[in-house]
Chains A and B, each alone.
Chain A
Amino acid sequence: MVRLFRAALHGIAFRGAAALLVAGGVSGARADDWGTITGRFVYGGSKPAAADIKADKDVEVCGKHKLLSEELVVGDGGGIANVVVFVRDKDVKVHPDLAKSKDTPVTLDNKDCRFEPHVAVVQTGQSFVLKNSDTIGHNSNVATIKNSPSNSLIPAGGDSKISFSSEEAIPAQVTCNIHPWMKAWIVVRPNPYATVSKADGSFEIKGLPAGELELQLWHEKAGYIGEIKVGGRAEKTAKGRKKVTVKAGDNAMGDITLDASLFKK
């Protein structure tokens, strides 16, 4: 009861906290120790048109797909997809439910002459599968800096498994040398607290330990995002770093506006 009271003090709806407690106390962890951060990245400007990609290699296969540049994807509602959000703190406490999140491999698929997903998130030590669902051959040139870079042939229907032993300070680019328009990114982090904004610009990081944390925000065109606008207030975020205080339960950051000028590159 004391805990519920404390949660209430922290501005958490009783119902949410109670539901978490009832849900079985997540392997012994106290429900009010953990929080979820949500938010949505919004483009500060009129929606830019995505450039067409002219598939001039393997035209008979790749020419069938309407390929668009994915360097900056802004949805109809103004949401920005593929913005990377992760917790920068290295010794962050990990929620017991997420301890096993490493066991599931992450897949980066060569599909329809593009990479799916465009930005993949992986933990150190987690298995990473480079897959090819296309009927043509690809290769995946993974330009990591701290980890050994690799560049494997991925034949039609085939795959290649890699893993990463150290985290990367900057997301690593993946390209296909046969089809030069193909580009993807891999975010390598030492913990499960990293995510990528969805098509509508929204993101969610669950199971964060309550307390002070530092988030880092990155986008392939903007790099580490140096300025954000939350609730109409502009805020400098040097090197994409933003300190947050995570409270138990939900922590909604609301709309985070990224000015159009950040994406000029």
Chain B
Amino acid sequence: MQTPSNVFRGRGSAITRRPTARGSFTPRSAVSQRGWAARAGLLATLLACTGCGGVPPAWFRPNMVEATKQRLTSAQESQVATVMLALFGTPDDPVALPETGLDQAKLDLAAGPVHSDATGRKNGLYREHCAHCHGVTGDGLGPTAAFLNPYPRDYRPGVFKFKSTERADKPTRDDLLRILHNGIPGTSMPSFALLSDIQIDALAEYVRYLSIRGETELGLMRAFFDLDDDAQGKLPETRDFLVDEMLTPVADKWRAAEEARIPVPEMPADIDMVASIAKGKELFYGDKANCVKCHGVTGLGDGQANDYDDWNKAIVEINKEIDGTAERARETKTSGMSADDLAEHRANLAWVNRFHHVLDGDAHRPRTIPPRNLRQGIYRGGRRPLDIYYRIHAGINGAPMPAAKGTIPPEEIWHIVNYVRSLPYGFDGELGADRTTTVSTRDRF
């Protein structure tokens, strides 16, 4: 297998984000001309061994799970890698094309190896604080990741859970900043409140960059499938396609999120809390809101417990596909096969072997996602009543939690919020007679 790693060696010198004195090669001009990708690849290869001393250059890891799932050829993998290099640069030299809406200065502060510049300003914040869990690429595959439960977020699908926007929308800047400030209780994500606001802001911008990058890469890898036969398995290398059709729509979703906060009517200040909690309880157990089905009759999160989140489910589905293909290959009788069929059979076997290998290195072992235990008083997306309102209204993107929006009016959502917030403070009768499972609270952590 040809890996695109050679493209990434040499501290990103093939593509600089600032126009050089000679003005020769910038991503913007590159994307506007045909044949630029080949040039980038060639340049990178030529310059690969300059400046090899000291810290080895970092490179973005291609999304090999998706590439293998789409059965991309090595030429196609290389094409994506080269295009990605031109559009987004390297971890040491990230590129913010204007279409991304990203701030290059913020990215520069967050990117690269950890070092201080001439003014004593610290750079490389992402690698110092985030990469060991979230990975240099933002794929959630850092060296620590496999030991954590839940696994660190993989930014590449562009799916975020805890935010003030609708389920399918991106989070706002403030949403990301809040997570960085507060951390995520109940997970390994710590608070970074000790960093300066400028540093936290730079990290949030870098997360957006990694996510826009990852989602664009996914789009490119999926685009091969729908190519017409006359494209001969090659994506068009035009600015129209790469920037306008693939990158910009992803970046636009991030831009749109800033204006898409869910409108939340204030909870009445003089609300009768006891009555509200009672109404919330009725809704919790009722057929309309149906919270009880997953969070359990006790609220311990012991209802529907064998579901997966989207990240893990993707791997579960892939495993099924691999097993199916392997079974088919095993049962195939190769004697008397035509040359074409034999080639296909061999390709299937190779694909199965390769995919096992890819999953070993580039995916976590899938885990189910338990519904939240509501008796603990630990709220991952924030403990403000408003945070819980958002979770109920919009559901949780990437997780099984559905949206109450459109089904449950705002005043009733507030009742459920109040009931949920009362749950950590005592069992009130459901436990015992109605309890159907015997899972201990400890198993629900």
Contacts and interface: CB of A to CB of B under 8 A. Distances in A.
A180 B407 contact: no
B167 A151 contact: yes
B225 A137 contact: no
B332 interface: yes
Interface residues of B, number: 38
Given A137-B290, A153-B290, A261 B226 contact: no
A155 B407 contact: yes
B427 to A, nearest CB: 23
Contacts, number: 90
A177 B400 contact: yes
A140 B340 CA distance: 42
Contacts of A135: 287
B442 to A, nearest CB: 24
B304 A153 contact: no
Bin chain A's interface residue count.
20 to 34
Chain A contact residues, majority secondary structure: loop
Contact of B408 (A57, A143, A153): A153
B288 A155 contact: yes
B309 to A, nearest CB: 11
Interface stretch (B10-18, B36-44, B109-117, B319-327): B319-327
Given A264-B328, A265-B320, A180 B306 contact: yes
Contacts of A155: 287-290, 407
Contact of A160 (B294, B307, B407): B407
A261 B332 contact: yes
Contacts of A170: 225
Contacts of B405: 152
B293 A153 contact: no
B203 interface: no
Given A150-B168, A151-B402, A137 B288 contact: yes
A85 interface: no
A2 to B, nearest CB: 35
Nearest to B290: A137
A143 B398 CA distance: 10
Chain B contact residues, majority secondary structure: loop
A143 to B, nearest CB: 8
A264 B402 contact: no
A3 B343 CA distance: 48
Contact of B293 (A57, A141, A145): A57
| B293, B324, B340, B408: most-surrounded residue (chain A CB, <10 A) | B293
B61 interface: no
A160 B404 CA distance: 11
B64 interface: no
Interface string B7-50: 00000000000000000000000000000000000000000000
Interface of A: 57-58, 135-137, 139-141, 143, 145, 148-156, 158, 160, 169-170, 177-178, 180, 236, 239, 241, 261, 264-265
Interface of B: 167-169, 222, 225-226, 229, 287-290, 293-294, 304, 306-307, 310, 320-321, 323-325, 327-328, 331-332, 340, 395, 397, 400-408
23 contacts: A136-B287, A140-B402, A145-B222, A149-B168, A151-B167, A151-B402, A152-B395, A152-B403, A152-B407, A153-B290, A160-B407, A170-B225, A177-B294, A177-B401, A178-B290, A178-B304, A180-B304, A236-B340, A241-B229, A261-B331, A264-B324, A264-B327, A265-B321
